[in-house]
């Protein structure tokens, strides 16, 4: 399956395209609440070792390695990042022989974009969501999505709003922003 435009709309809204440093001209990377350097619409940056670039100590490296300087590039990178998440979600669908609709697929791609497939895999994804999908249990699907609202042990309003948007979209097919 391919993600619809809904994923782009959700990510653009919840990631935003703003500068990490409002005192300087142009688009600079920013440190997200999970302590990962991102640029554009939440594109995670990587260090020379290929791992996620983390921590304020890496600010100079993040600024020097930044490649997103305008909205057109940010949109192109967002589309590429979404394609990667589509592939990951499609593997889960194939592995568990899931039958899902477009809205659920889009919501899965969006949550994977937002919290990362590695985090979801380490903490029981796709098992909790997969079982809920297999049982066609919307309440459990909603509960599974709402587990992903914390960073560093703190509930973040932006993550709560994003999860509510995803669940609302699954249920209604309507994009609604909750912040």
Cβ atoms of residues 99 and 27 within 8 Å: no
Whether residue 178 is contained in a domain is answered as no
Whether residue 160 is contained in a domain is answered as yes
Q: Which of 57-61, 113-117, 126-130 has the lowest mean pLDDT?
A: 126-130
Whole-number percent of the chain with pLDDT over 70: 93
| Gap between the Cα atoms of 179 and 165, Å rounded | 10
Q: Is the pLDDT of residue 73 over 80?
A: yes
135-177 per-position pLDDT tens digit: 888 999 999 899 889 988 999 999 999 999 999 999 999 999 9
Cβ atoms of residues 118 and 126 within 8 Å: no
Residue 177 pLDDT: 97
What's the structural domain count of the chain? 1
Strand partners, 44: 38
| Gap between the Cα atoms of 169 and 106, Å rounded | 9
* Average pLDDT value over all residues in the chain: 90
Which residue range forms the structural domain that includes residue 56? Answer: 5-172
Cβ atoms of residues 24 and 38 within 8 Å: no
**Residue 154's CATH number:** 1.10.530.40
Secondary structure letter of residue 69 according to DSSP: -
Whether residue 177 is contained in a domain is answered as no
Whether residue 135 is contained in a domain is answered as yes
Whether residue 179 is contained in a domain is answered as no
Whether residue 110 is contained in a domain is answered as yes
């Amino acid at each position: 399956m391919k993600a619809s435009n809904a994923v782009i709309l959700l990510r653009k809204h919840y990631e935003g395209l703003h500068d990490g440093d409002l005192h300087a001209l142009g688009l600079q990377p920013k440190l997200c609440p999970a302590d990962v350097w991102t640029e554009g619409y939440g594109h995670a940056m990587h260090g020379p070792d290929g791992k996620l670039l983390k921590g304020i100590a890496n600010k100079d490296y993040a600024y020097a390695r930044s490649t997103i300087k305008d909205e057109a590039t940010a949109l192109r990178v967002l589309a590429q990042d979404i394609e990667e998440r589509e592939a990951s979600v499609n593997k889960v669908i194939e592995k568990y022989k899931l039958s899902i609709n477009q809205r659920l697929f889009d919501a899965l791609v969006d949550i994977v974009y937002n919290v990362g497939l590695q985090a979801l895999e380490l903490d029981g994804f796709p098992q909790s969501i997969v079982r809920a999908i297999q049982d066609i249990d919307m309440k459990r699907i909603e509960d599974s999505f709402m587990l992903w609202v914390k960073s560093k042990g703190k509930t973040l309003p932006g993550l709560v709003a994003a999860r509510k948007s995803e669940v609302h979209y699954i249920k209604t097919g309507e994009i609604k922003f909750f912040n």
